[in-house]
Amino acid sequence: MHLGEPFQLLDLDRLDQLSRELAGRADELAGLRDALRSSAAGLRWHSGAARAFQGVLHELLGQLGQCGSRLAELAAAVRAHRRQAGGRAASGARLAHSGLELLERTVRLP
């Protein structure tokens, strides 16, 4: 008897793909934030309203950086989960197969 693929309860390739996508989005956010920060640094902030906008922009760029960092952390967490879940799934599959082999031997006894 062959246990087959239904025992694979998670899609490790999908976890790898999600991790890469999240890391890519984090990189995109970091690049966008750097470009905005660079553009804002080249502007001349003369009026009070312009300086107030500069302060708000600085705060928002900080929040954008935090979002990028959180995405990078999430990508790392998904990668870690993939490694751990993959190892556990492989161990579970090995146990299931050896249990099934033992059951087959037992059932075949006269």
Q: Which two tokens stand for residue 79?
A: 């990668």
Decide: 33 and 67 in contact? Cβ < 8 Å. Answer: no
Q: pLDDT at residue 8 above 70?
A: no
Q: Specify the CATH number of the domain 11-108.
A: 1.10.287
Residue 95 has a pLDDT of: 76
Percent of the chain with pLDDT over 70: 90
Sorted by sequence, the CB contacts under 8 Å of residue 104 that are 6+ apart come out as 1
Residue 46 has a pLDDT of: 87
pLDDT tens-digit readout, 36-71: 999 988 888 889 998 899 899 999 999 999 999 999
